[in-house]
Amino acid sequence: MSDLDAHPAVTECRSVAGDGAVLEFFEARSVPLGGIRGMRVDRVLPHRSLPTVGAWCFLDQFGPQRTDMSVLPHPHTGLQTVTWPMRGEIHHRDSVGSDVVVRPGQLNLMTAGHGVSHSEFSIGDAPLTHALQLWLALPADRAGIEAGFEQHTELPRYERDGLRATVLVGGLGDAVSPATVHTPLVGADVELAAGTTANLPLRPDFEHALLVIEGEVNVAGTPVPAGPLLYLGTGREELTVSAAGDARAFLIGGEPFPDELVMWWNFVARSHEEIAAARADWEHGDRFGHIAGHGAERIPAPELPGVRLRPRSRRPR
Positive or negative: CA dihedral 208, 213, 219, 222:
positive
Helices first, then strands: H and E counts in the chain: 1, 25
Nearer to Mn ion (CB atom), residue 181 or residue 232: 181
Query: Can you list the alpha helix ranges (DSSP code H) found in 165-308?
Result: 272-283
**In the 3-class helix/strand/coil scheme, how is 19-66 assigned residue by residue?**
CCEEEEEECCEEEECCCCCCCEEEEEECECCECCECCEEEEEEEEEEE
Nearest to Mn ion of 90, 202 (CB atom): 90
Instruction: Give me the least distance between CB of 266 and Mn ion, in Å please.
Output: 6
Phi, psi dihedrals of residue 5, rounded to the nearest 5°: -55, 125
For Mn ion, which is the closer residue by CB, 52 or 133? 133
Which of 112, 47, 122, 40 has the alpha carbon at shortest distance from 82? Answer: 112
Burial of 227 (0-12, 13-18, 19+ CB in 10 A): middle
> How far apart, in whole angstroms, are the C-alpha atoms of residue 309 and residue 250?
31
Q: Give how many residues touch Mn ion by CB under 5 A.
A: 1
Stretch that binds Mn ion, among 1-9, 143-151, 182-190, 231-239 (CB under 5 A): 1-9
Nearer CB in complex with Mn ion: 65/80: 80
Local structure of residue 289 (DSSP, 8 states): -
The C-alpha R_g of the chain, in whole angstroms, comes to 19
2 binds Mn ion (CB under 5 A): yes
Smallest gap from residue 165 Cβ to Mn ion (A): 26
Q: Does 67 bind Mn ion (CB under 5 A)?
A: no
Per CB under 5 A, which region of 2-10, 196-204, 273-281, 294-302 contacts Mn ion? 2-10
Binding mask 186-225 for Mn ion (x = CB under 5 A): ----------------------------------------
Look at the alpha carbons of 246, 229, 37, 73 in this order and tell me if their dihedral is positive or negative: negative
CB of 121 vs Mn ion, minimal distance in Å: 12
- Closest residue to Mn ion, judged by C-beta, is 2
Of the two residues 2 and 234, which places its CB atom closer to Mn ion in the complex? 2
Report the nearest approach of Mn ion to the CB of residue 62 (Å).
12
Residue 46 and residue 52 in contact, taking contact as beta carbons nearer than 8 Å? yes
Q: How far is the CB of 58 from Mn ion (least distance, A)?
A: 10
Contact 137, 181 (CB under 8 A): no
Q: How far apart are CA 79 and CA 266, in angstroms?
A: 9
Nearer to Mn ion, 82 or 243 (CB): 82
Nearer to Mn ion, 23 or 123 (CB): 123
Question: Whole-number minimum distance, CB 98 to Mn ion, in Å?
Answer: 13
- Classify strands 56-66 and 40-45 as parallel, antiparallel or unpaired: antiparallel
Residue 119 interacting with Mn ion (CB under 5 A):
no
CB of 11 to Mn ion, least distance (A): 16
Q: Which residues bind Mn ion (CB under 5 A)?
A: 2
